[in-house]
Chain A
């Protein structure tokens, strides 16, 4: 059984099926790309996994538990927006993570912040956009969680920041953990993915090993995605 399991997971918004009978199993130790155009259902699935939405029907479990207090203690989540309080200084944010999460590695976070030359005394809202993204990622990746959900971690940042973000993800994730990266910018992330999940209109249309898929189709994941989602991808 995978560390993340979805069985017939469905979420409706009015008459729209944001997720439609999704069945998915993700094992520990894998970096998985949840790939699909905007509005495909990626964020909905991640929100359900983090207890921010309830499914209409079906079930999603993290390490055998439904999303709740227990799963939140072992799940690290990077949302697709700025979520840290702007008035807080960077060192206060580090203290807050240390207070709230038992698996937070303060030394790791402080080392990464120092490496980037981010002043811990600076308020979060006064950092550049790129640095705000990086601080958020550093907080999330400094946890020793069992599951990481990174929702659009590289959207809206410059190529140098993208490289740094991907470097942080691969060099800091816990090897016994599962990492789910949701994105529509596939070319930039495909080299770090072990598995890919294509999602379209709330349905899983493909779930495969990244290397096997490339070998089988003889092209990059990005090319395969562009072909499979032709005229639908909002890229």
Chain B
């Protein structure tokens, strides 16, 4: 059932985000072509500005569409269908979280893709010599094993961050939906309250613990030592994201399961 729920979420969101993804990639391509050929920088500046605006619109739209989708299909009129499907509340919520992560990742990939298109097309002073760059990187004898571990931790952090952010929004909407009027306003207030509580708890947890020394007092002389220190930071941040996600999941689950009251 989760797969089918994600499929219909994907279709509903895709029809809104798909066109903006295509627009961003197309304008990136145009920016690349202009950077390649036009000697006059005027048109390039205009297209670059449009691209910048489009990228911001895409990021904001991703957030807005995910918020709307959750509100509509859980607490709005479409909830009369979605919340009466033969699926448990847990399955319903997980499918929404997975959907949010997929769209968060896709938006990030489109942003990276846009940058990649421009970088690959623009040739400054005869172009970027990728082959030479790779040869130079190889000759530096970098600790690739340790770099890979840090990269994996970084990616896991990014995904956990998306999960946590999505669940924080879902929990805020769930709290806001309990109000009889101004549900949107109460959702925003709930979001601010969650952010304040989370930061206060984190502040006390960090200042009262003596587990990790400040980077200013740690002796980080080698590249490996810096990587190890970064790994500890990333791991700690991952643990925090998992714990806060679990709390927001529990809050959202309880409201969806016990306090669902469609208009």
Q: Which A residues form the contact surface with B (CB < 8 A)?
A: 47, 50-54, 68-70, 72-73, 75, 77, 79, 81-85, 87, 96, 99-101
Contact of B84 among A70, A77, A82, A84 (CB under 8 A): A77
Given A69-B88, A72-B85, A73-B86, verify A100-B80 contact (CB < 8 Å): no
Interface of B is mostly: loop
**6 further contact pairs, Cβ within 8 A, besides A54-B258, A54-B260, A72-B86:** A47-B262, A54-B259, A69-B88, A73-B86, A77-B84, A84-B81
Residue B198 interfacial (CB < 8 Å): no
A52 adjacent to B4 (CB under 8 Å): no
Residue B228 interfacial (CB < 8 Å): no
**A-side contacts of B8, CB under 8 Å:** 96, 99
CB distance from A186 to the nearest CB of B (A): 24
Chain A, residue nearest B15 (CB): A87
Contact of A53 among B12, B15, B85, B260 (CB under 8 A): B260
Q: Which B residues form the contact surface with A (CB < 8 A)?
A: 1, 4, 7-8, 12, 15, 77-81, 83-88, 258-262
A52 adjacent to B86 (CB under 8 Å): no
B77 adjacent to A100 (CB under 8 Å): no
**B-side contacts of A72, CB under 8 Å:** 84-87
CB distance from B261 to the nearest CB of A (A): 6
CB distance from A16 to the nearest CB of B (A): 13
A53 adjacent to B88 (CB under 8 Å): no
Chain B, residue nearest A97 (CB): B81
A83 adjacent to B77 (CB under 8 Å): yes
B78 adjacent to A52 (CB under 8 Å): no
Contact of B77 among A53, A77, A81 (CB under 8 A): A81
Query: Which A-B residue pairs are the 4 nearest by beta carbons?
Result: A73-B86, A83-B80, A79-B80, A72-B86
Given A83-B77, A83-B78, A85-B78, verify A69-B261 contact (CB < 8 Å): no
A52 adjacent to B88 (CB under 8 Å): no
Chain B, residue nearest A82 (CB): B77
CB distance from B11 to the nearest CB of A (A): 8
